[in-house]
Chain A
Amino acid sequence: MMPDYELMLDAYSKAGGVPAVFKDSDVAHLVVHRNKVIGSHLIPGLVLTPKETETGVNIDFRVEKGVKIERPVHLCFGIIPKEGIQEINIKASVQDGAGVKLLAHCVFPNAVKVIHKMQADITIGDNAYYEYNEVHFHGDTGGVEVIPRARVKVGRHSRLVTNFSLVHGRVGTFDLDYDTEVLDDSVLEMTARVYGYGDDLIKIREAGRLIGANSRGLIKSRVAVKDNAQSEIINELTATAPHARGHVDCIEVIQGRARAQAIPIVNVTHELAKVTHEAAIGSVDKKQVETLMARGVEEEKAIDIVVSGLLK
């Protein structure tokens, strides 16, 4: 039988990760199986301290002032058995003038009764950059409950980018809640892409508060649901400072008996601020499908191409 580390890397690879990065001494990484740290590597300027708990791991993550981590930091979380719980609590700080990009893969290939919770408290200093990409790889049973939570404070002249993707395997139950606060001249970009089918339940709330002058915010959701899957997307953008600008962009595609709901919430409390939103829910665009069919592609495959593109 393969040891946990090998099984995790195998699932990580299936999720689109490149296992070779875990052998690269220039790349920081952390691999957590259930509540066990089974691999880690640090590089100068980065503090990454995991502490195992009964149900997961508490992680202190810090990028020291002025340090720009050149290569992405790789994180891999997961549970290989059919059942289990994993609670990840992250306290992250990207100090003034620092910059880092994280690639997190969360793998639950055999989940029948698995709970994965993540709570992140993130502080980004001034003139700093933080990009967090999270890719999930689930099995086909839908027996996984994913509950990510994040509270992020972005300083001045800084940039926060988050990309969440759950398009491989059954979603199961998914309940994401990200809340961000953005100071002067800073930029926020949050994107979530999820593909649900079977009886998957998807709930996404992404909120941005543009409280700094000249701050910018974009919240983008791309969700496709089919069969009996259901989705509810709440995109909330508030602008309370002069020249703050924001945009909310939500597209949901439904097929079969699936149900989708989009709730854009736009609040502006300063006369020099502006937030716009667009939301579209519907079946796959007929013209897109017919265009591909006119190139010789069968209808079902054409729908797949359109949906895959949307979730890319």
Chain B
Amino acid sequence: MELVRLEDISLNLEGRQILRGLGLSVKAGTIHSVLGSNAAGKSTLAYVLMGCAGYRPQSGRIRLEGDDITELPISKRSQRGITLAWQEPARFEGLTVKDYISVGMKEKDEGLIKESLHEVLLEPTEYMNRVVDKTLSGGERKRIELAAVFAMKPKLAILDEPDSGIDILALDNIVNLIKRLKKQGTSVVLITHREEVSEIADITSLMCSGCIVKEGKPKEVGKYFKEKCLPCPTKIYPSFMDGKIKVPAK
């Protein structure tokens, strides 16, 4: 069953075409990775799907369970089950980890907060009352962001580069968390530029210059990405961005 559908999404930011008629369908209960090089438009796709200010597409529609949510603000989309874990999560002076995680929970359940911290290998007794400010490292902040998403139990979690800034030892843990999200019934849009991370998905879409250019089994798409996109031809031939050179065919 289709959970989310993006139809022909185009977005121009400050005179630059970032998304070009992008289409994407995410099935319920799946991990759907979006793989691509830097500046392919992956984070923009995440912001458009979440409904962030300034990321309203000039054309195209976004549907959640068949309903058009293109005009809904972030909070309304979230209330309908979508959330986003930012690549670089915000810091909050004065807000404890416990309060931060509980913000998105329908019922405040301390047991679930502790469980979600355990899921990202943070000891609850040490972290619950710490403040989500600059006293936390980038890696800790990132794990807390993922813990908050886990505790929220959304229908769809958009994870923007959850693997960036995470040390190699913790990567397995993050991968397990994403699988746990799926197990608890959350669909995942996993945005990454690492094909080995992308491989945990059920399906992978390859993004280039604001479009989805290939879709299929993660290993196959990952192989294609490795062979054709590294190094990124859009960087070597900037005219890719103008549409003068055709993007890699499906």
Q: List chain A positions with a Cβ less than 8 A from chain B.
A: 222, 251, 285-288, 290-299, 302, 305-306, 308-312
Contacts and interface: CB of A to CB of B under 8 A. Distances in A.
Interface in B130-178: 148, 152
A294 B89 contact: no
Interface in B164-212: none
Interface stretch (B22-30, B72-80, B236-244): B72-80
A294 B90 contact: no
B79 A287 contact: no
A291 B89 contact: yes
B97 to A, nearest CB: 12
Chain A to chain B: the 6 pairs with minimum beta-carbon distance, closest first: A295-B104, A309-B94, A312-B94, A293-B74, A309-B95, A296-B78
B53 A290 contact: yes
Contact of B90 (A222, A288, A298): A288
Interface residues of B, number: 23
Contact of A292 (B53, B73, B91, B103): B103
B93 A296 contact: no
B94 A294 contact: no
B127 interface: no
A310 B131 CA distance: 11
Given A292-B103, A295-B103, A295-B152, A309 B92 contact: yes
B50 A294 contact: yes
B84 A294 contact: yes
Contacts of B86: 287, 291
Interface string B26-38: 0000000000000
A296 B75 contact: yes
Nearest to B78: A296
B245 interface: no
Given A286-B53, A295-B78, A310 B104 contact: no
B83 A295 contact: yes
A310 B74 contact: no
B112 to A, nearest CB: 14
B92 A288 contact: yes
Contacts of B79: 296
B52 interface: yes
B90 A311 contact: no
A312 B78 CA distance: 27
A305 B53 contact: no
Contacts of A222: 93
B94 A310 contact: yes
A293 B94 contact: no
B78 A294 contact: yes
A194 to B, nearest CB: 14
